[in-house]
Structure 1
């Protein structure tokens, strides 16, 4: 989707749709001049991008003060860290509930030159989750990194501190300055973050509207996070719900019918650039036979390409593709013969996970000339990080196109799917309400646990008193009967309150009523849920850090 940018200047009034960072920044003209606000054309939801590492100077100062205090504390001192939290910021945390945040860069906000520096290979996603959750204010995390986007989803104890810590982590691991990341990133919180992921899973936020491959990539996030400390209830619930939304949108609308993927758009682009608009006489080479490469090969076959060379690390994947496309002459070559194959190719598609370029300018300069009907060798690079150096296009004998160049193909197919996108958004809003109700209902979980523990302490204490008064002559059978009686009484007393603290949307109680029941129970039994939950969160983080 296209983005239009509205620059916030002077004394401009912040719109209600803007998140906390934007409204805070508008308090002074000086800070307002540092904020750019990006609106998606589809709705009023805002993508807030800042030209600096922090939106709120006051919050940054508090964070720095805490950082200085932490420096004076001995590392690994759990009690001092918890005490520091209690004395300096506990009230702030309990007033500011944990937030779901997405911090990302995608094809709408950053060029491939920027995105490739921050790209995270799929194999590293589990380790990244662990690393993010060691940050002071991050409880849960997930990573979605594809050729069109690099997005980090977190549950943060504090919005401002969470964004600051994740951005600094991104800078440290990628080598990209915080200021550059902040210039291109977008930030979305809670309901807006969830809506964004649902739109991503449905294919509404893709370069190619309605593309199907992104749903498989969202599924891979869940697969990669299974069993990883930090991919916990809220984040996993968010991604699982997004998968359901993506499936439902594709089932109930025709958004995917006639749509193209990145791979098919790459094939279309190459077809547009060939002089005779045909693959019949062009010598085609595909580097990489993974998910993207396989789709490229299939689309090439569909466009009439009857012969192609595939370079891949292993032969098994290429053989499997050959079995599917028996009418196409597919020749496998190992990576060691890549340059020799490139010298004999007119059109080269690259789609590998290599973190460094496979084709350098000097390498391409040495390749033999292309077929007579072509003036320059055509490279279609749909990898992020890129597989072909940009400067290859400086040569008179070659031209390079990357994923950002696919807009030319996509524009021709976009208009007829806008109505389908509107239908999809109606489904997304319906599913968003369900997810928000589920997320809000999680607030009652700590109260349920603490009330159960409260009743259990009373039951166990009274049982012990009863048995001690009865002396040693009581039989095992009698002890069991008394124990069962105490458990039965406790469970029957718990049943009513527990029913009124649970919310699944299937009864007549509203979420507001359930949350009011929770607050009433906290008051009546002095459960101190918020403070206690905060302490539990900090203890969990300290335990993770010590492992």
Structure 2
């Protein structure tokens, strides 16, 4: 079984297409199960954010699963396959591991180094766990990816060098409006991105923050965390008229802020929703600046100060390369363990059979001598097998590791899937490590 990734992101697809392919809620769970139902797929997980939709799967076939996943993405999004395919990327085995680690470390984000992706990967992991589509292979891989992401942020400070989309958006707001301290800010929505936006505004020195959300109770809770106030969703137009800076990120499927709700004046709107919350026609209003994911993708963030990002990115890439090599080495070594277990199990069976034959042929051997003979025979076998089994585990860590395990199976006619051999794995590993 191998790891496969099929997806599209801001690097390969326009935001308009990402809007159509993006899935969430019940639709995301349904797509997850549809992928996992494939007879070639053992495990599945989906990372779906405003910047990417990626299907991770443990598969026993390559081309068949790529075709199936592509077809499912087309069906769930309504985008014809022929329009979808040019924007898809596929990673397999080693490259799939490297891609996930890079994503978790923030190297593949629209704003390199942003830390929100870690939470999004963790959310994808939890959904797959809750839906029962995750198994040991993907679970271990994703858990390791999360550790790589945490290590990257802790050791390089890339999260400070590469601010989140919200942070970059506020820096763009300062270009348009000047210092944002003292301005009135409006946050539309009360989800995780909206909470991040409100907190970022507060840290930037904005003290007049209003939160509007369809569920008023959630708006109240968020407003309280930043010392702001909540307003009813029905009063959105009035709040827009009083705001200087607007950050919108709801889960709505239709436009929330229309052009006729915005008064032409000096005003900045940051639309972080997918699909759009703010009608693009707002850009035509005098004095109004609208920045959304599409404009960021098309170069709006160019020129935002590097703040040491280049050096941090290089350091993170080195960490990712190191962690990928370590993961692959450990994973290859683990593949040979059932073969080693089968070899030692077979040897143990032979020893026991021969000791039994000796006891039946020479029954007069007294107990103490019989026990000493048995221990001696077992020690001889253990010593003969110790070096080759340790060595094959070491060799298995190389890229050609599977060939060594295969040779061992052929030489000794082993079946590593024998249940009895699997049950003895812990005992055998302890013997090998001595």
Instruction: Please report the TM-score for the alignment, with normalisation by the length of structure 1.
Output: 0.63
Residues 101 and 149, structure 2, Cα contact 8 Å, conserved in 1: yes
Q: CA deviation at 1:220?
A: 2.0
Deviation per residue, 1:304-357 (Å, 9 max, x gap): 32212201244555455455434xxx1202334334433443432211222x12
Alignment of 1:64-463 (within 5 A): 98-121=1-24, 125-226=28-129, 228-274=131-177, 277-279=178-180, 282-315=183-216, 317-326=218-227, 330-354=228-252, 356-359=253-256, 361=258, 364-365=259-260, 367=261, 369-370=263-264, 374=265, 378-394=268-284, 400-406=290-296, 407-409=299-301, 411-414=303-306, 416-444=308-336, 447=339
Question: Using a 3 Å threshold, how does the CA distance of structure 1 residues 224 and 450 change in structure 2: closer, same or farther?
Answer: farther
Is the CA contact 1:125–1:224 (under 8 Å) kept in the aligned structure 2?
no
Report if aligned partners of 2:332, 2:401 keep a CA contact under 8 Å in 1.
no
Count of paired positions: 403
Shift in Å at residue 136 of structure 1?
3.3
Q: Equivalent residue of 2:311, what SS?
A: helix
Q: Do the aligned partners of residues 391 and 512 (structure 1) sit closer, same or farther apart at CA in structure 2, a change above 3 Å counting? A: closer
**Cα deviation, residue 448, structure 1:** 6.2
Number of the residue aligned with 1:518: 405
Q: Which runs of 5+ in 2 are unaligned?
A: 361-373, 419-434
Q: Deviations over 1:65-107 (max 9, x none)?
A: xxxxxxxxxxxxxxxxxxxxxxxxxxxxxxxxx3322212111
TM superposition shift of 1:528: 6.0
2:268 touches 2:288 (CA, 8 Å); kept in 1? yes
Residue 363 (structure 2) aligns with: none
Q: 1:119 to 1:512 in 2, by over 3 A?
A: closer
For 1:220 and 1:307, locate their aligned partners in 2 and report how far apart those are by CA, in whole Å. 31
Structure with greater helix share of residues: 2
Q: Distance in 2 between matches of 1:135 and 1:271?
A: 50
For residues 256-311 of structure 1, give each alpha carbon's deviation from its aligned partner in whole angstroms, at most 9, with x where no partner exists. 2343111111222223223xx14456543211122211221222233332212201
CA contact (8 A) 1:441 1:502 kept: no
Distance 1:215 1:189 in 2: 22
Deviations 1:128-183 (A, max 9, x none): 33221112322222111112211111222222222111111100111111122111
CA distance in 1, matches of 2:119, 2:302: 21
Aligned-pair Cα RMSD in Å:
4.0
CA contact (8 A) 1:311 1:338 kept: yes
**Secondary structure of the equivalent of 2:5?**
strand
In the alignment, the residues of structure 2 paired with residue 509 and residue 401 of structure 1 have an alpha-carbon distance, to the nearest angstrom, of: 51
Q: Calculate the TM-score normalised by the size of structure 2.
A: 0.77
**Is contact 1:357–1:388 with CA below 8 Å preserved after alignment?**
no
Asked if the contact 1:265/1:410 (under 8 Å) is kept, the reply is no
Q: Is the 8 A contact 1:501 1:514 kept in 2?
A: no
Shift of 1:223: 2.1
